Amino acid sequence: MTAAVSVTGLSRGYRGHQALTDLTFELGTPCVAGLLGRNGAGKTTLLRILAGQEFHDSGRVRVFGAEPLENDAVLRRMILVREDQTYPDLKVRHVPEAAALLYPNWDAELARTLLDAYELPPGRPIKKLSRGMRTALGIVVGLACRAEVTLFDEPYAGLDPVARALFYDQLLADYTAHPRCIVLSTHLIDEAAELLDRVLVLDRGRLVLDAPADDLRGAATVVTGPADGVERFAAGRTTLSRRTLGARTTAVMIGRLDARDREIADHLRLRLEAVTLQQLAVYAADHHDQFGLTTARAS
Ligand SMILES: Nc1ncnc2c1ncn2[C@@H]1O[C@H](COP(=O)(O)OP(=O)(O)OP(=O)(O)O)[C@@H](O)[C@H]1O
C-alpha cells in the first residue's frame, strides 16, 4: 500500500486553545478510514489542514508526498466535502458541469445516477435546496469526482436513514470499482462500521486510537451476569468499566475471547456481547492508556 496521506507531529492552536496536538499517522491507499471523535475533538480542523484549506502551526503534512497547502497539483487529486459547504449562485444542473472542469476523474454518468437517486431537482437553485438535499448534493460531488483522496466531513447532516443507506451503498460500490483513499468523519460509527477498514479516534485534539477496523472487532466484550461470576471471569483481564445493579454486574473487558473463555463464561452463566466500534471509540477516548492496540501504519 502506498501512503496517500502522511502526517507527522501535526499541531494547530487557536488563540491559546490547542485544537490538534502532535498527530502522527499515515493513510495508505486504497482504504476507507473512519475519523471519529466527540464534538470539538478536532476532526474538521484536521480534514481542513489535509485539504490545504487551513494552516498548521507545526509538524508536517504530505498528500502524495507533497505539502497540500496552495498546491494545485495535489488539490486536484483530492476533495473535502463538508456539511456547511458553500456553493456559488448555481442551479443543481450546473454543478456537474462545473465539477467536470475541476476534477479530472469526474464521472458524469455516476453523477446523473446519484442526482436521480437523491431526487435533486435540476432546475432548482442550490440556495433553495433543503438541508438534506444540499448534503446529498455534496455526496454526489464527493463520489462522482472520484478524487484519489476523498474526505467527507460528517456527510449525513439532514439526511434521512434511506438517503444515508443509499450513500453507504454507493460509496461501497464505487470504492470497490475504483479503490482510493476515503476518510469519513462521523458520529454514526456503527452505521458506517461495515465500510471501514481503518479507525482513527481523536480526543481533545490527540490521536488516541489508530487501528485496522478488523483488529477492533471483537477487541472488547461486555460481560453480564451474577456479580461473583463476572468477578471470577474478570480476574487477570483488563476491565474498562464495571457496573453493578442488584445481583447483576456488567463489565467491559479488553481482549479477544477464545473457545475456552466462552466455555468458562457459559459455565458461570455470563452473557457475552461484542463491544461495537461506536462504544470502542468512546472507551478509547476515556481509557486509551489501557487499550494497548497497535498503531496502524501504511506500508
Ligand atoms: N477558527 C477557529 N477559531 C477558534 N477556534 C476554533 C476554530 N476552528 C476550530 N476551533 C476550535 O478547535 C476545536 C476543534 O474544532 P473542530 O471543528 O475541528 O472539531 P470537530 O471534531 O470537527 O467537532 P464537531 O464534531 O463538533 O464538528 C474546537 O474547540 C473548536 O472550537
Rounded to 5°, angle at Cα 241 from 235 and 242: 70
Mean pLDDT of the chain: 91
- Which of residues 189, 215, 241 is at a domain's end? 215
Q: Residue 285 domain-assigned?
A: no
CB atoms within 10 A of CB 40: 13
State phi, psi for 156 to the nearest 5 degrees: -110, -5
Q: Where are the beta strands (DSSP E) in 99-214?
A: 149-153, 181-185, 198-203, 206-212
Question: Do 210 and 226 belong together in one domain?
Answer: no
CATH, residue 250: 3.30.70.2020
**How many domains does one find in the chain?**
2
Read off the pTM: 0.90
8 Å CB contact between 250 and 243: yes
Question: Do 83 and 155 belong together in one domain?
Answer: yes
**Cα dihedral sign, 33-39-42-44:** positive
Q: Which long-range contacts (CB under 8 A, 24 or more apart) does 186-190 make?
A: 186/34, 186/35, 186/36, 186/154, 186/155, 186/156, 187/36, 187/154, 188/156, 188/164, 189/34, 189/36, 189/276, 189/277, 189/278, 189/281, 190/276, 190/277, 190/278
Question: Do 116 and 43 belong together in one domain?
Answer: yes
Q: Residue 295 domain-assigned?
A: no
Nearest residue (by CA) to ligand 1, atom 4, is 14
Q: Residue 294 domain-assigned?
A: no
> Is pLDDT at 33 greater than 70 in this prediction?
yes
pLDDT of residue 289: 67
What span, in angstroms and rounded, lies between the C-alpha atoms of 7 and 245?
45
- Which of residues 215, 241, 266 is at a domain's end? 215
CA dihedral 160, 47, 112, 99 (to 10 degrees): 140
DSSP structural state of residue 36: E
Nearest residue (by CA) to ligand 1, atom 17, is 44
Ligand 1 centre from 90 Cα, in Å? 29
What does the longest C-alpha to C-alpha distance in the chain come to?
A: 67
Query: Does the CB atom of residue 170 touch ligand 1 within 6 A?
Result: no
Instruction: Give the residue, 86 or 272, on which the prediction is more confident.
Output: 272
Q: What share of the chain is helix, strand, coil (3-state, %, to 5)?
A: 35, 30, 30
pLDDT-derived band at 219 (thresholds 50, 70, 90) equals confident
Nearest residue (by CA) to ligand 1, atom 31, is 40
Question: Do 89 and 146 belong together in one domain?
Answer: yes
8 Å CB contact between 151 and 81: yes
Q: Residue 132 domain-assigned?
A: yes
Question: Do 263 and 118 belong together in one domain?
Answer: no
Ligand 1 centre from 42 Cα, in Å? 6
Question: Do 152 and 253 belong together in one domain?
Answer: no
Instruction: Pinpoint the alpha helices (H) of 11-82.
Output: 43-50, 72-75
Query: Does the CB atom of residue 41 touch ligand 1 within 6 A?
Result: yes
> Is pLDDT at 251 greater than 60 in this prediction?
yes
Question: Do 73 and 139 belong together in one domain?
Answer: yes
Nearest one of 160, 163, 192 to 276, comparing CA atoms: 192
pLDDT of residue 118: 95
pLDDT-derived band at 297 (thresholds 50, 70, 90) equals very low
CATH, residue 116: 3.40.50.300
Nearest residue (by CA) to ligand 1, atom 25, is 39
Q: Residue 33 domain-assigned?
A: yes
Q: Residue 242 domain-assigned?
A: yes
Ligand 1 centre from 153 Cα, in Å? 12
Predicted ipTM?
0.97
Locate 200 and state its grid cell. 482513527
Question: Do 235 and 199 belong together in one domain?
Answer: no
Full domain range(s) for residue 243 = 220-274
pLDDT-derived band at 21 (thresholds 50, 70, 90) equals very high
Query: Does the CB atom of residue 40 touch ligand 1 within 6 A?
Result: yes
Question: Do 123 and 244 belong together in one domain?
Answer: no
- Which of residues 200, 215, 230 is at a domain's end? 215
Q: Residue 286 domain-assigned?
A: no
Question: Do 89 and 158 belong together in one domain?
Answer: yes
pLDDT of residue 259: 95
Rounded (10°) angle between helices 161-177 and 108-117: 160
Question: Do 59 and 201 belong together in one domain?
Answer: yes
8 Å CB contact between 7 and 59: yes
pLDDT digits (tens, 9 = 90+) for 173-187: 999 999 999 999 988
Ligand 1 centre from 41 Cα, in Å? 7
**Cα dihedral sign, 146-149-155-161:** positive
Question: Do 209 and 224 belong together in one domain?
Answer: no
What span, in angstroms and rounded, lies between the C-alpha atoms of 21 and 255?
28
CB atoms within 10 A of CB 60: 12
Report the atom number in ligand 1 closest to the C-alpha of 42: 18
Nearest residue (by CA) to ligand 1, atom 1, is 14
Q: Residue 15 domain-assigned?
A: yes
